[in-house]
Amino acid sequence: MDRRRECSNGTIQEETVYAITSRCAHALGELALGAALRAHWGIENAVHYRRDRTYDEDRAQFQKKSTAQVMASFRNLAIAARHHLAPRCARLRDRTLPQMHRRLAAKPQIAVTLLTKPWL
């Protein structure tokens, strides 16, 4: 798949992207294949990139699979709490996830309040 994009400085960047799929690329069509690739990378960039940069999740090694699942659940809870609280709390709106972690680590009573207070 060839991709062309115009950069902000006016130059044109061209690249060839190779993808492996279980579906027949010719039957799928170029537009649908492009949409599927963008959807995949949208998820990767929105969720996994944030988790890997904040939690260094790709290097985490656990002896038991259940430990990894529990840690992933805690990470998901932290991301969901940040996402849920951002519109309601002006002090947190422009803060990043690591900044929120540092603030809650410095003042654990805020974390306890946030976890025990109903979100609805």
The string of pLDDT tens digits covering residues 59-97 is: 888 888 899 889 888 888 888 777 776 666 556 555 677
Identify the CA nearest to 22 among candidates 41, 36, 35, 43: 36
Contact 43, 10 (CB under 8 A): no
pLDDT at position 25 is: 66
* Average pLDDT of the residues of the chain: 78
Mean pLDDT of 36-60: 78
How far is 116 from 78, CA to CA, in rounded Å? 14
Measure the CA angle with vertex 36, ends 34 and 39; round to 5°.
110
